[in-house]
Amino acid sequence: MQFWEQELEVLDRNKLSQLQVKRLKDTIARASQSTFYKSLFSKKGITPDSINFVEDIRKIPFTTKQDLRDNFPYGFLAADKREVIRLHSSSGTTGNPTVIYHTRHDIASWANLMARSLFTAGIRDTDVFQNICGYGLFTGGLGFQYGIERLGCLSIPAGAGNSARQIKLMLDYETTVIHAIPSYLGRLYDVFVDMGLDPRKDTQLHTFVIGAEPHTEEQRRRIEEMFGVKAYNSFGLSEMNGPGVAFECTWQNGLHVWEDAFIVEIIDPDTLEPVPDGEYGELVMTTLDRHAMPLLRYRTRDITRFLTGDCPCGRTHRRLDRITGRTDDMFIIKGCNVFPMQVEGILMKVPQVSSEYRIVLETINDVDEMIVEVEIKNDLTDDQYRSLEQITKRLVHEIRDEVLAKPIVKLVEPGTIQRQEGKAIRVFDNRKKYETSCLF
């Protein structure tokens, strides 16, 4: 078995905990230089000496996205601005953006984590790596770019969109590895077909890295089948640098989270207490190797769990299950809690439909309804067309059994559902907002 940094990746669990404690103490000392944490630590009496075990991190209050927005732009900055060489930011379309700052040390550390992650998935310096992701304030472009270069691959910084050009780049330079968001790859495959090409025969592709948006195992397997590749899950979030937080190894049995760089907790989002290993909860993360803007106990809102047991690859860093959704993605319909991923998992089992779908919540005759629209494939046979009514009934039944609320299912023609740049938007809530009054 090969490793990028064997000493760290197979570190004994006790020694790994000792390393985390040391780095957590250093992180608290650095964080106390920021306006936000200096005030928080003073109120709570927290110093580096408060930490003797990893579990002592629970003495520290949680940090939220709203905290980042409320302290925009420099309230979390823990370094002199002269030391900061880059920032990444969310769009901020609904208020102040969330901004993360990086020193040279932070960029180098992030690049190394990305290289380690890519190596873990079997990618080597002999590969030609095409990065089909936006460059700029979004972390997926530059985050991967620095990691690709650190690993030593020939990189193609293609950016997002323009599928015909993407395919030409793949053919001209014999691309072997692609990084893209899952929702885009279905569209890319359609362009291959329109051009009379088969990516399984006409390209050198063997590996995809997919991430940046939640997706089901069924969608991953569909991507692998369409392109004839192995698709590896990547997890990251801009508040923790971006990509490179956790990655699948070649065994594909969970995402190794790099515990020398992060402390990971999984909590019950209601009680805020830790959940037992193997149970789903909200992911909470702490940076351990970032100088400009350390974050402690950041509530990600992502839902996952720790996988138990050892990985056959030999790495000792704990594994996360795939992200099943976000606490803020959940919607309630007819009294039932629904995550979009539950619906997607059922849709992707039907070979006659594509990966393009949306969930529209509408008020019809004063009743809230869940309308699931999914595009059919553009190459259906006459027999498959005749079976669409039965497929619709099947989807209604299976979605109702899964989420306990009966949907309205509509199979629509290819190209009907509007595409978005970047991450796919799956849920559109058009329900009437009723005002209520109470008498006391």
In terms of domains, do 266 and 395 share one? Answer: no
In terms of domains, do 103 and 171 share one? Answer: yes
Contacts of 237 (CB under 8 A, 6+ apart): 245, 285, 300, 302
pLDDT confidence tier of residue 154, bands split at 50, 70 and 90 = very high
Give bridge partners of residue 130 from the DSSP assignment.
156, 178
What are the DSSP calls for 75-114, one per residue?
Answer: TT--S-GGGEEEEEE---TTSSPPEEEEEHHHHHHHHHHH
**Whole-number pLDDT of residue 186:** 87
pLDDT average, residue stretch 389-400: 92
In terms of domains, do 179 and 65 share one? Answer: yes
Give 53: exposed, middle or buried? Use CB within 10 Å, 0-12, 13-18, 19+.
exposed
Domain end marker among 328, 359, 375: 328
In terms of domains, do 383 and 359 share one? Answer: yes
Determine contact, residues 320/235, Cβ cutoff 8 Å.
Answer: yes
Residue 367 covered by a domain: yes
d(CA 126, CA 154): 8
Determine contact, residues 130/170, Cβ cutoff 8 Å.
Answer: yes
Of 43-47, 124-128, 433-437, which gets the smallest average pLDDT?
Answer: 433-437
Whether 437 shows a pLDDT value over 50: the answer reads no
d(CA 381, CA 101): 53
What are the DSSP calls for 248-302, one per residue?
Answer: E-TT-SSEEE-TTTEEEEEE-TTT-PBPPTTS-EEEEEEESS-SSS---SEEEEE
Whether 356 shows a pLDDT value over 80: the answer reads yes
Q: Is 212 helix (H, G, I), strand (E, B) or coil?
A: coil
**Whole-number pLDDT of residue 425:** 83
**Whole-number pLDDT of residue 260:** 98
In terms of domains, do 194 and 228 share one? Answer: yes
Whether 109 shows a pLDDT value over 50: the answer reads yes
In terms of domains, do 239 and 265 share one? Answer: yes
Domain with 338 in it: 331-429
Of 93-107, 330-344, 396-410, which gets the smallest average pLDDT?
Answer: 330-344
In terms of domains, do 297 and 338 share one? Answer: no
Residue 262's Cα: distance from chain center in Å? 16
Contacts of 170 (CB under 8 A, 6+ apart): 130, 178, 199, 203, 204, 205
Which pTM does this prediction carry? 0.81
pLDDT average, residue stretch 165-182: 96
d(CA 396, CA 347): 10
**Whole-number pLDDT of residue 234:** 93
pLDDT confidence tier of residue 91, bands split at 50, 70 and 90 = low
d(CA 265, CA 58): 10
By percentage, how much of the chain surpasses pLDDT 90? 71
Average of per-residue pLDDT values in the chain: 91
Give bridge partners of residue 22 from the DSSP assignment.
none
pLDDT confidence tier of residue 96, bands split at 50, 70 and 90 = confident
d(CA 371, CA 102): 43
**Whole-number pLDDT of residue 95:** 67
Whether 198 shows a pLDDT value over 50: the answer reads yes
pLDDT average, residue stretch 105-132: 98
Domain count, the chain: 2
Residue 436 covered by a domain: no
d(CA 144, CA 111): 8
Whether 219 shows a pLDDT value over 90: the answer reads no
d(CA 251, CA 48): 38
List C-alpha distances in Å: 349 to 43, 182, 208, 217, 360: 52, 16, 21, 10, 21
CATH code, domain carrying 103? 3.40.50.12780
Residue 74 covered by a domain: yes
Whether 436 shows a pLDDT value over 70: the answer reads no
pLDDT confidence tier of residue 29, bands split at 50, 70 and 90 = very high
Whether 170 shows a pLDDT value over 90: the answer reads yes
Domain end marker among 278, 311, 328: 328
Report pLDDT digits (tens) over 2-20.
999 999 999 999 999 999 9
d(CA 98, CA 154): 32
In terms of domains, do 252 and 318 share one? Answer: yes
Report pLDDT digits (tens) over 231-259.
999 999 999 999 999 999 999 999 999 99
**Whole-number pLDDT of residue 328:** 73
Determine contact, residues 210/223, Cβ cutoff 8 Å.
Answer: yes
Determine contact, residues 383/400, Cβ cutoff 8 Å.
Answer: no
Q: Which of 17, 9, 19, 16 is nearest to 313 (CA)?
A: 9
Domain end marker among 268, 299, 328: 328
266's tokens: 């999984």
In terms of domains, do 179 and 133 share one? Answer: yes
Give bridge partners of residue 160 from the DSSP assignment.
none
CATH code, domain carrying 351? 3.30.300.30
Report pLDDT digits (tens) over 260-306.
999 999 999 999 999 999 999 999 999 999 999 999 999 998 999 99
In terms of domains, do 156 and 180 share one? Answer: yes
Residue 82 covered by a domain: yes
In terms of domains, do 191 and 218 share one? Answer: yes
Residue 439 covered by a domain: no
